[in-house]
Amino acid sequence: MTWAAGRTTGRPWVPCTSVGQSDEALNVVSTPVDHDVFGSDTALVDAVRRYDGDHHLDRLRDLGRLAGSARAARWADLVHRFPPRLQTYDPFGRRIDEVEHHPAWHHLLQAGVRAGLSAAPWGPDAPAAAHLGRAAGIVVWSQAESNHIAALTTTYATVPTLRSEPGVAEVWAPRLASGVYEAGLRPARKKLGCLTGIAIAERQGGSDLQSSTTVASPEPEGPVEAGEPYRLNGNKWFVSSPMSDAFLVLAQAPGGLTCFLVPRVLDDGSLNSWRIHRLKDKVGNRPNASAEVGLDDTWGVRIGDEGCGLRVLLGAVSASRLDSVLVCTGLMRVSLTRAVHHARHRKAFGSALVDKPLMQNVLADLALESEAATVLAMRLAAAVDAGETELLRVAVPVAKYWVAKRTPHVVVEAMECLGGNGFVEEHGMGRHLRDAPAASLWEGTGNVAALDVLRAMSVQPRSMEVLLGEVDRARGADPRLDRAMDEVAGYLQAASREARRDPAAVEAGARWLVERLAVVLQASLLVRTAPAPVSSAFLATRVAGGGGVMFGTLPVGRQTTKTLVERALAG
């Protein structure tokens, strides 16, 4: 059975077949639809249960069925075929600076907000393990379409920062956590639900936020009900979701680099000065508009004290990075699902592809990588619920670095499992491939994440001790893991001594350190939580270095690879 998109009529996807020829007879494999994206993911279901999230299961199954539906597939297809457009002026010549999205974009966001994937876990009525439930939802819903998750992520990440200014939080936080999606620009007080973005990077600095040249001057009229107002002037080079209701913005105030909340619409209904110069022409992530924005005497309210902008933003950065891990986990998972589904239904040389020993090894290796990412992502989400800030301080950049780096490799290999069809645009794998590298670029490149780990070692050594303690919980389970843990601990001790003599040498080895930390952390989690075939295969390859560099080189027997593939896609 194949699926026709009904592209000119807007009809949902419907099954169709060539007259007199079935897909089975033609050996054609359709895209999987109408399946439960959550329920078929054994590793994710197990993780939600492990961290006391059973009360989220029904909601996640509902979301999983929507994510795997023909309707969601149609929305995803439309937002990628009809990217956003900038409307600088209205028909009467008035400056409006609006970005027009296809209606499918709003359907996706509405579903995500309703499912509690924006700031709902920060709300007063949030259930137990709220961040865990949301994290699982992000993994699930990003498999329907990953680009719109950016608006949900920045909204979620904004709330910890707003808490630095209670008056501002009182106005905005309930609307960010409401579960209501309202498109269109209106004053926040006239909306039941709002979204927020983050605008910090500038052309000359990128990740070097201290080099920001945007300036902020106190508003002469003085304080307002929700805080201290300022006027901002400058430019922001990379602003995602520019149609959000407000943005966190960094600017140089008289007292130093400071964080501000800048609304798109002021309380009197007038538009704030928010000049969208152009939209970025990006390699991937195209449905999510990214803009170059000018601030011209733009009104904003201070968040936290002057000079404390970076410290105030730490919570937002950590939350955004965790979402990068979650979205990458979703991209790995959807790519794996497509590969396994295709191999189960495609025949070659007399039997199904999934029964061929070499293809089975490839699929098992991909499944191993996907499960390792899942257990790591969900452990970090559980740490948010538990308030394990020291663990999160170093484990989040470690996970963000490693999972983001592995995702493009998984997507490429899964695409190859589909053969030539995988390289054809309408099969959907191409957009996953284009979107996969984005996670390594947003919220700090790989080098920035690695340097953050080194900074934690120096400034907050207790956070590294907590991470090593988490890894050490699996000590004694397998000598290969014990040796790897000792190796990492030894390197850290040596690096601590070397940092005083030759800090450049320590920096040069930062990527190796972060990679090994990520791998031993994943191994520790798998040893403690996954079936023996999964943890043993991970130890043999990622920890002990067995097999080859490419996927499909697991040095394990046929029974193990078969078990891994069967576990990968339940049902």
Q: Quick: pLDDT tens for 309-348.
A: 999 999 999 999 999 999 999 999 999 999 999 999 999 8
DSSP 271: B
120: in domain: yes
Domain co-membership, 51 together with 24: no
pLDDT tens-digit series, residues 28-55: 888 888 899 999 999 999 999 999 999 9
- Write down which residue in 256, 291, 311 finishes a domain: 311
Contact 419, 356 (CB under 8 A): no
Q: Residue 125 corresponds to which tokens in the numbers above? A: 């009525």
Q: What is the pLDDT of residues 175-226, one digit of tens each?
A: 999 999 999 999 999 999 999 999 998 987 777 788 889 999 999 876 676 7
φ/ψ (deg, to 5) at 221: -70, -10
Residue 307 and residue 224 share a domain:
yes
Is 435 a domain residue? yes
Q: CATH code at 512?
A: 1.20.140.10
Length, in residues, of the chain: 571
The mean pLDDT of the chain is 92
Q: Enter the pTM of the model.
A: 0.94
Residues 400 and 439: beta-carbon distance below 8 Å: yes
CA-nearest of 242, 236, 241, 286 to 150 is: 241
Q: Is residue 230 located within the same domain as residue 337?
A: no
- Alpha carbon distance 88, 96 (integer Å): 6
C-alpha separations of 398 from 178, 329, 406, 435, 464 in Å: 32, 14, 13, 21, 11
**Other CB atoms within 10 A of residue 425 CB:** 10
The pLDDT tens digits for 217-256 are 999 876 676 789 999 999 999 998 999 999 999 999 999 9
**Residues 542 and 479 grouped into a single domain:** yes
- Identify whether residues 218 and 349 lie together within a single domain: no
Residues 25 and 52 in one domain: no
Those residues with Cβ within 8 angstroms of residue 127's Cβ, 6 or more apart along the chain or in another chain:
55, 56, 133
Asked whether residue 165 is domain-assigned, the answer is yes
- Write the CATH number for 291: 2.40.110.20
Same domain, 248 and 319: no
Residues 252 and 159 in one domain: no
Cα angle 113, 119, 124 (rounded to 5 degrees) comes to 115
pLDDT confidence of residue 26: 74
In a domain, 325, yes or no: yes
* Residue reference for tokens 């979301």: 63
Residue 187 belongs to a domain = no
Q: Do 416 and 535 reside in the same domain of the chain?
A: yes
Q: Are residues 300 and 323 in the same domain?
A: no
With a cut of 80, say whether residue 447 has pLDDT above it. Answer: yes
Q: Is residue 178 part of a domain?
A: no
Domain boundary among 274, 294, 311: 311
Per the CB < 8 A criterion, the answer to whether 151 and 285 are in contact is no
303 lies in the same domain as 319:
no
High-pLDDT (> 90) share of the chain, %: 83
In a domain, 186, yes or no: no
196-199 and 85-89 strand pairing: unpaired
The pLDDT of residue 546 is 92
Domain closes at, from 291, 311, 331: 311
Q: What is the predicted pLDDT for the residue at 14?
A: 42
Whether residue 111 is predicted with pLDDT greater than 60 in this model: the reply is: yes
Our count of domains for the chain comes to 4
In the block, tokens 């043993």 appear at 536
487 plus 519 within the same structural domain: yes
Identify the domain containing residue 397 by its residue range: 312-568
Alpha helices, H only, 288-388: 309-345, 357-386
- Identify whether 189 is part of a domain: no
At residue 328, the pLDDT reads 97
Which amino acid makes up residue 331? L
pLDDT at 47: 98
